Amino acid sequence: METAITMVLFGLLFTTALLVGRQRNLFAATMLTGIFSLVSAGLFTVMEAVDVAFTEAAVGAGVSTVLMLATLSLTEDTERRESKVSWPALIVVLLTGGALIYGTLDMPAFGDANAAVHQPLSRYYIDRAWDEIGLPNMVTSILASYRGADTFGELGVVFVAGISVILLLGHTRAAAAVAQAERDERPSVLSAERHAQVREMPVVRTVAKVMLPYIVLFAFYVQAHGDFGPGGGFQAGVILATAFILFGLVFGPKELTRLVPPQRLERIIPVGPMIYGGVGVVAMLMGGEFLAYGAFTPEHPSHGHHYGIFMVELGVGITVSAVMITIYTTFATRPRTTTPCAVLEPGEQPVPVGLAPEDVPELPEERALPAQEGMS
């Protein structure tokens, strides 16, 4: 019965993946990718991977879809030309797939309890996690304590991604000019139009206002409950960011930047790695190794693990939510340019949509560079 369900879900995934490739309308393809993530979350649940399903549903079907839609609003939303089958790619893909399948022929059957992958490491964790750490959710105790250094690296990756998006898309002079116009209370074209749009959406506005506190409450619940059921810092951070993104989608990114000013949010992003590294260093100062939480309460190591896991999950939740909100805000407040930069004269700036001409900032003086030896 379970195998039948798994097969049906795999079939759905396959169909959706095929359609993603064939869709020329990128908006539809984005929705199909979201459906793919959601169905795979269902598949993970059927395979008893509840934490993974939770994260995949929140991250893949939620944040990822919103980011892709934000990108489509900044670029084009249709693929330009007909998709012809590319024979070299097809041959490469078939050969690679064939080699991979050949490689998996020796592997144990689906659900085999004696597979080599289950011994000895997971036996170690399953047998010892209750006595050494004492949390019901094994995945949290492995994630935050036994393999806490990996999670630290993952938090570092999230941090770097947030910074990269800020460097690539944020802090534009045009966005600063729009914000300055807002502060000086000069009418900016975008805000009047957006105001009219928001006034016309009574149902969405009201229901969003009603639902937001419950989403935030759920995020806190997931953060605190990660020790006892599926949940933890990542899922909680993403759900909290989803609440703010919902606000931004309904009321406009300007309102969102007034609610959470980007400068302040950017200062919150490093707090997570600081807490995580700080917990590790404090553990060293109290006599253990880096991230050995047992050193906090030497006579009762499992209590120390509880404190350590709570603190690091808190750090993870803070940074992940700040990064996700910042990424969304950066995408949403990026001014849309009308002319592509490739057709501009040197020294001419592209005029962002919605900015009054007198607000377009001036370029600084060109600095003369030494002569170069020809193009490489």
Partner 1 sequence: MSLLPVWHYVVVVALMMLGLYIVIAKPNYVKKLMGLSLFQVSVIMLYVSMGRITGGTAPIYILDDGVPRPFVLYTNPVPHVLMLTAIVVGVATMAVGLSLVVRIREAYGSTEEDVVAELDRREVEEARARETAVPPEAERAAP
Partner 2 sequence: MTDILHGIGAFFVVVGAVFCVIGGIGVVRLPDFYTRCHGSGLTDSAGAGALLFGLMFFADPLVAVKLFVLVAFLWISSAVSTHSLAKAAFSKGVRIENVPERDWTVPPPAPEEPPPEEPR
Residues in the site for partner 2, rule: CB under 8 A?
Answer: 201, 203-204, 207-208, 210-211, 214
- Least separation in angstroms between residue 207's CB and partner 2 is 5
The item of partner 1, partner 2, none sharing an interface with residue 337, based on CB under 5 to 8 Å by kind, is partner 1
The item of partner 2, partner 1, none sharing an interface with residue 264, based on CB under 5 to 8 Å by kind, is none
Which residues make Cβ contacts (< 8 Å) with residue 31, sequence separation at least 6? 65
* Cβ proximity of 29 and 56 under 8 Å: no
The item of partner 1, partner 2, none sharing an interface with residue 199, based on CB under 5 to 8 Å by kind, is none
Distance of CA 47 to the CA centre of its chain: 24
CA–CA separation, 212 and 185 (whole Å): 29
Compare residues 201 and 344 and give the one whose CB is closer to partner 1: 344
Distance of CA 164 to the CA centre of its chain: 13
Q: Which residue has the tokens 């050969």?
A: 95
**Amino acid in the structure at residue 20:** V
Compare residues 7 and 217 and give the one whose CB is closer to partner 2: 217
Across the strands, what pairs with 244? none
Q: DSSP secondary-structure letter at 374? A: S
Compare residues 196 and 342 and give the one whose CB is closer to partner 1: 342
Compare residues 83 and 197 and give the one whose CB is closer to partner 1: 83
Helix axes 301-333, 121-132, angle to 10 degrees: 110
Which residues make Cβ contacts (< 8 Å) with residue 173, sequence separation at least 6? 361
- Least separation in angstroms between residue 47's CB and partner 1 is 5
The item of partner 2, partner 1, none sharing an interface with residue 360, based on CB under 5 to 8 Å by kind, is none
- Least separation in angstroms between residue 206's CB and partner 1 is 30
The item of partner 1, partner 2, none sharing an interface with residue 305, based on CB under 5 to 8 Å by kind, is none
Compare residues 179 and 215 and give the one whose CB is closer to partner 2: 215
- Least separation in angstroms between residue 246's CB and partner 2 is 10
Phi first, then psi: give them for residue 25, nearest 5 degrees.
Answer: -80, 110
- Least separation in angstroms between residue 130's CB and partner 2 is 23
- Least separation in angstroms between residue 327's CB and partner 2 is 23
CA–CA separation, 218 and 111 (whole Å): 33
**Among the listed residues 116, 98, 111, the one whose alpha carbon sits nearest the alpha carbon of residue 49:** 111
Compare residues 57 and 155 and give the one whose CB is closer to partner 2: 57
